[in-house]
Amino acid sequence: MTKIKLSTASYKGARDFPPAEQQKFNFIVDGWKRTARQFGYQEYGLPLLEPIEVYAAKSGEELVNQQTYAFTDRGGRQVAIRPEMTPSVSRLVAQQKNNFTFPVRLFSVANFMRYERPQKGREREFWQLNIDIFGDDTSLADLELATLAYEMMAQTGAKPEMFKIRLNDRKLIDAVLIGKMGLESEVAYRLTKLLDQKDKIAPEEFKKGLEEFCPATEDQTFLLELLNFNEPGQLPPALADFPEAQTLVQVLAQLPKLGITNAEFDFGLMRGLDYYTGLVLEVFDTNPANPRSLGGGGRYDGLVGLFGVEPVVAVGMAFGLSTFWNFMEGHGLLPEQQANPTVAILALDGQILPAVQLAQKLRQAGIAAEVDGSERKLDKRLKAITKKRINHAVFVGEKEVESGKFTLRNLADSKQDQLLPDEIVASLQ
Residues that bind ligand AMP (CB under 6 A): 84, 114, 116, 122-123, 126, 128, 272-273, 293-296, 318, 320, 322-323
Q: Which is nearer to ligand AMP, 158 or 401 (CB)?
A: 158
Q: Which is nearer to ligand AMP, 242 or 284 (CB)?
A: 284
Q: Which is nearer to ligand AMP, 68 or 391 (CB)?
A: 68
Q: Which is nearer to ligand AMP, 294 or 401 (CB)?
A: 294
Interatomic CA distance for residues 256 and 160, integer angstroms? 12
- How far apart are CB 196 and ligand AMP at their closest, in Å? 11
Closest C-alpha to 110, from 131, 93, 135? 131
Q: Which is nearer to ligand AMP, 252 or 283 (CB)?
A: 283
Interatomic CA distance for residues 363 and 370, integer angstroms? 9
Edge-to-edge strands, sheet with 78-81: 49-51, 78-81, 69-72
Other C-beta atoms lying within 10 Å of the C-beta of residue 182: 11
Task: Write b or e for each residue in 255-282: b if 16 or more Cβ atoms lie within 10 A of its Cβ, otherwise e.
Answer: beeeebebbbbbbbbbbbbbbbbbbbbb
- How far apart are CB 402 and ligand AMP at their closest, in Å? 59
Evaluated on CA atoms 36, 41, 45, 50, the torsion sign reads negative
Q: Which is nearer to ligand AMP, 213 or 324 (CB)?
A: 324
- How far apart are CB 365 and ligand AMP at their closest, in Å? 42
Instruction: Tell how strand 104-113 and strand 42-43 pair up.
Output: parallel
- How far apart are CB 14 and ligand AMP at their closest, in Å? 10
CB 411, CB 394: distance < 8 Å: no
- How far apart are CB 86 and ligand AMP at their closest, in Å? 8
Q: Which is nearer to ligand AMP, 266 or 372 (CB)?
A: 266
Which residue sits closest to ligand AMP, CB atoms considered? 320
Q: Which residues contact 51 (CB under 8 A, 6 or more apart)?
A: 77, 78, 79, 80
- How far apart are CB 129 and ligand AMP at their closest, in Å? 9
Residue 332 backbone class (left: φ over 0; alpha: ψ -120 to 50; beta: rest) = left
- How far apart are CB 224 and ligand AMP at their closest, in Å? 26
